[in-house]
Amino acid sequence: MKLYGIPNCNTVKKARSWLSEHNIEIPFHDFKKQGVNEELLESWLKQIGWEKLVNRQGTTWRQLPDEAKVAVRDETGAIRLMLEKPSVIKRPVLEKNGKIHVGFDEAHYQSLFGK
């Protein structure tokens, strides 16, 4: 089990706070400090697809030049962008029992952890 994200992201803060309040300790992987690799991204994309993993609502996406946005039209383009700019990955990514859960929703976490 592992939680991936960026510590100053509000959604990641909510997820980490919820986990802490429920005494659930999960290792945290900081995208900015520890990065991500292609193999990890490919394994995630097999489960959820690149459209769900690339955060097109966030600041990082909005600040990209148009040509970079246009280049993200398939899995290869998405992986290339996520490797270059990991902060474009929708957060947090929770890896639990081999399954990936993207974003934070309290009800979903309650069902995942039986709380």
Kindly report, residue by residue over 6-54, the tens digit of the pLDDT: 999 999 999 999 999 999 999 999 998 999 999 999 999 999 999 999 9
**Structural domain boundaries of the chain?**
2-113
Instruction: Name the superfamily (CATH) of residues 2-113.
Output: Glutaredoxin (3.40.30.10)
9 has catalytic annotation? yes
pTM: predicted TM-score of the whole model, two decimal places: 0.91
Across the strands, what pairs with 17?
none
Sheet holding 28-30, edge to edge: 28-30, 2-5, 93-96, 99-102
- Tokens, residue 102: 């993207």
Of 3, 4, 5, 9, which residue is the catalytic one? 9
Backbone angle region of 110, left / alpha / beta, with phi > 0 → left and psi within -120 to 50 → alpha: alpha
Task: Identify the pLDDT of residue 32.
Answer: 87
Which whole number is the average pLDDT over 50-64? 93
Kindly report the backbone phi and psi dihedral angles of residue 29, in degrees, each rounded to the nearest multiple of 5, phi listed first: -110, 115
